[in-house]
Amino acid sequence: MVKKLPEDFDWQAFTPEDSPLTPQQFMADARQKDLSTAKLKAGDLAYNFSSLVYDYSDGTAKDTGRTFDLLEVAQEKPVALIFGSYT
């Protein structure tokens, strides 16, 4: 169940002083809405991207000399991409 905040909730009280927008203003911004709107449908091809592969096993980033290429890996097996924030 999602708890709804009161209409007079003071977002400014929870917004850092150096932030130009409150969370409500940010979410209402047309650019943010566009970025958060899915442009692909199930079955569409994903955009290809390549990224360096790092080893974090000791807590620091070490370049493995390998590159992850989405299109290359997806031709071999299904791929699940998980995006998240750890802030």
pLDDT 10s per residue in the chain (87 long)?
667 878 888 877 878 888 888 888 888 889 988 888 888 888 887 788 999 999 999 999 999 999 999 999 988 998 887 777 666
Where do the structural domains in the chain lie, given as residue ranges? Answer: 42-87
Give 44's DSSP letter.
S
Whole-number Å distance between alpha carbons of 24 and 19: 12
